Structure 1
């Protein structure tokens, strides 16, 4: 697995946003499931702060694929989470737990992640926390 992708996921599971940011290109494009593209580390950090407020998550059963040449990577994993605080437009949070298959896709440029795209089944998540 690409070292930078490994570092990114290790930082995610440690809840270490600063270490995640260190893995990213300054102008990272963050493609969020069911959301708009956010560009730049500042927007990514704001997203992480919001997510940490509403959710506690750990990624397990990770499988990472890397394209020849190391410029692209993908990962499939299980999100094991707790819904901590109600997120706008979503069901009310009451400490519900969830287990959700998900995946991420990456572009890597000059040793940093320049694109993160994450996908999961929102309807499945809603059903689990409703």
Structure 2
């Protein structure tokens, strides 16, 4: 499977809300760099993050463009997050079912056909303004 196919599979699983399929794309010791947060290491931490996100947010990614470099060992994706804020997340505005549309991007390192690093960026101030 090519790197772009792997990244497309990862995001298709995200949109299907299929955490198990997302985990299947990841290396056991994946480093997950979240926007405005600590680095989480390993599939267990990644799964816990996904569970938390599913409680607080309902999101679908659209307008996806995937880029590949470094002979398939690096990739990036640009997309739009279309979401609904379901449950108040600690330290953030109160959730009242607000919707948002937010440009975002992710960077990946791929090793042995698995995603070894995921870095996600979006503009938190933009999101906060949309849900406030």
Name the TM-score, length of structure 1 as normaliser.
0.99
- The structure 1 segments of at least 4 consecutive aligned residues displaced by more than 3 Å after TM superposition are none
| Map 1:88-103 → 2, pairs under 5 A | 88-103=90-105
Q: Corresponding residue for 1:39?
A: 41
Q: Corresponding residue for 2:58?
A: 56
Q: Corresponding residue for 1:80?
A: 82
Q: Corresponding residue for 2:120?
A: 118
Distance 1:34 1:105 in 2: 15
Distance 1:39 1:3 in 2: 23
Question: By how many angstroms is 1:109 displaced?
Answer: 0.3
Picking from 3, 6, 22, the partner of 1:4 is 6
Secondary structure, in 3 states, of the residue corresponding to 1:123?
A: helix
Distance 1:20 1:98 in 2: 23
Distance 1:68 1:102 in 2: 22
Q: Does residue 69 in structure 1 map to residue 71 in structure 2?
A: yes
Unaligned runs of 5+ in 2: none
Question: By how many angstroms is 1:68 displaced?
Answer: 3.9
Distance 2:124 2:13 in 1: 24
Question: By how many angstroms is 1:2 displaced?
Answer: 1.5
Distance 2:131 2:46 in 1: 25
Unaligned runs of 5+ in 1: none
